[in-house]
Amino acid sequence: MATMPQLLDPGTPGQSRVPALLDQAHAVVDSLQEAIAADQRTAGRALRADLVEVERLARRVEAARLRLVARADSVRVAERTGHTDTGAWVAQSTNGDRRPASRDVRLATALTAPSTPPPSDSPDQTPVGLTLVGSESPSTPPEPPQPELARTAAALDDGRISADHARVITQAMDDLPDGLTLEQRRACEAELLLLAVNRAPAKLRIAARRVLEAVEPDEDVVDAHEDDVLASEEAHARDESAFWIRDNHDGTMTGHFTVPWAAGAILGKVIDAMTAPRRRTQPGSDTVITEPSDLARLTGDTRVDELDWQHRRGLAFADLLTRIPTDHLSRKVAATLLVTTRLDDLTADLRRAGSTDAGDHLDAGTIRRMACAAGIIPVVLGGPSQPLDLARQKRLFTEAQALALSLRYDTCAAQGCERPFAWTEIHHLHAWRDGGQTDLLNAIPLCGYHHRMIDGPDWQHTVHRAHDDTATIHFHRRT
């Protein structure tokens, strides 16, 4: 029989140790707060190390909270207190909102749910607790099954992943196709934990759609699974779509909407295009300033500039609403969302997802619907009508070059930057004024923030080339 963990204070039988340990934890946090307030260090490396450890501690506390939520759900506290479910009980107990509380309950129960035991090869089983005639000892009760996501729970307990990472992993495991063995599912979980090491939850979510590659060698099967996941997300998004607007009775109206990702990405790109400042090049510089969020870098007042940015986006949205041609709402889409897919996949009804220049993927069905609405524009990259290497003939990169570059880069090329390609400007690695070529090898996408940095006096940079000729920019402050 398994040994039960020591949870009770040996000196006080029947009394939980949890309240006393929580008191000690609060005392430690009080001391930590005082130490941080008194700390005079300014070195970025030391502050980063402390921040990483505090983040890990917060994740471990979150894991403990989820274990309490799972415990409350398993003993059905909500039924005894008159709440409709555990989510309602958690929300009321913590003065929180119902929706995130319900999400926490789902995660907590998923992390503690036992794995399904494999079917037995022997149809004739001896009931547990009975003694066979002539046997020397009664049968031994089996060990209770371990949680299927025990390794994910352990990673969260240790602070190696966050609760948001764990949500992505549990969803990806739930999305796996039927028929996988327990060993195959464990292999997928292990792969997801590896993927989570250096990825934010949003990036992990994209990579997790293809986790089946860990156990499935057939790429077509993996493609079909990824397409199923994306189609399911699209269906869920449509189910969750909502819109409301109210009159504030002061000349303004306030609203909120939830729409599928593709529709939101198109709207975001339209607003970005409407609010981007006019392209302007500083004398003697190849830097083009186009990203409004960099205004804080110009004036130093982050709050004022952020409010100004939000204000201009609000005005752009209002302008857009007043200009929508309502007599042609069923015609072609008004904005371009660049989707990369293979023509064979599009025409042969293959189930392969496509990537977008806004940082995520679309399922095959959505791509076909968008193609029907927008039309198909044949482009032969590198052909005589669309030259990609302009040498010194022109300074500015062409749309064809931007399209070709989007097939190489998903995001800004600065190390660690996750701003999508659609938000970037193309920069000459070797400045055009110094003899740089206007070709793809000398082209690199940079968001406005990093575009300003690359020619700024306070920063130096190095270029790291990958085997596929893509480049990553590493910035270092000048000393």
Question: What is the sign, positive or negative, of the torsion defined by CA atoms of 260, 262, 265, 266?
Answer: negative
Is 328 found in the same domain as 263? yes
Residue 430 Ramachandran class (φ > 0 left, ψ -120 to 50 alpha, else beta): beta
Is 331 found in the same domain as 424? no
What confidence tier does 377 reach under pLDDT thresholds 50, 70, 90? very low
Is 292 found in the same domain as 200? no
Is 205 found in the same domain as 83? yes
The range of the structural domain enclosing residue 172 comes to 50-114+146-217
Residue 311 domain-assigned (yes or no): yes
For residue range 166-211, list pLDDT tens digits in order.
Answer: 999 999 999 999 999 999 999 999 999 999 988 999 999 999 999 9
For residue range 119-167, list pLDDT tens digits in order.
Answer: 544 444 444 444 444 444 555 666 666 789 999 999 999 999 999 999 9
Choose one of 217, 242, 268: the last residue of a domain: 217
In this model, does residue 15 exceed pLDDT 70? yes
Instruction: Report which secondary-structure segment, H or E, holds 462.
Output: strand 459-465
Residue 55 domain-assigned (yes or no): yes
Give phi and psi for 442, each to the nearest 5: -100, 5
The DSSP 8-state label assigned to residue 410 in this structure reads S
**Cβ 154 vs Cβ 186: under 8 Å:** no
**Cβ 450 vs Cβ 458: under 8 Å:** no
Is 197 found in the same domain as 65? yes
Choose one of 188, 217, 246: the last residue of a domain: 217
Choose one of 183, 198, 217: the last residue of a domain: 217
Question: What is the sign, positive or negative, of the torsion defined by CA atoms of 169, 172, 177, 178?
Answer: positive
Is 191 found in the same domain as 77? yes
Question: What is the sign, positive or negative, of the torsion defined by CA atoms of 293, 461, 463, 199?
Answer: negative
Residue 124 domain-assigned (yes or no): no
Q: What is the spatial distance between Cα 441 and Cα 430, in angstroms, rounded to a whole number? A: 10
Is 458 found in the same domain as 410? yes
Candidate from 20-24, 26-30, 377-381 with smallest mean pLDDT = 377-381
Number of domains in the chain: 3
Is 164 found in the same domain as 91? yes
Residue 28 domain-assigned (yes or no): no
Is 408 found in the same domain as 273? no
3-state secondary structure of 368: helix
> Between these two residues, 96 and 366, which has the higher pLDDT value?
96
Residue 393 domain-assigned (yes or no): no
pLDDT at 161: 97
Q: Which of 145, 153, 141, 80 is nearest to 110 (CA)?
A: 153
Residue 434 domain-assigned (yes or no): yes
pTM: 0.65
pLDDT at 361: 78
Is 439 found in the same domain as 296? no
Is 192 found in the same domain as 286? no
For residue range 261-272, list pLDDT tens digits in order.
Answer: 888 888 888 887
Residue 242 domain-assigned (yes or no): no
Is 274 found in the same domain as 344? yes
Residue 458 domain-assigned (yes or no): yes
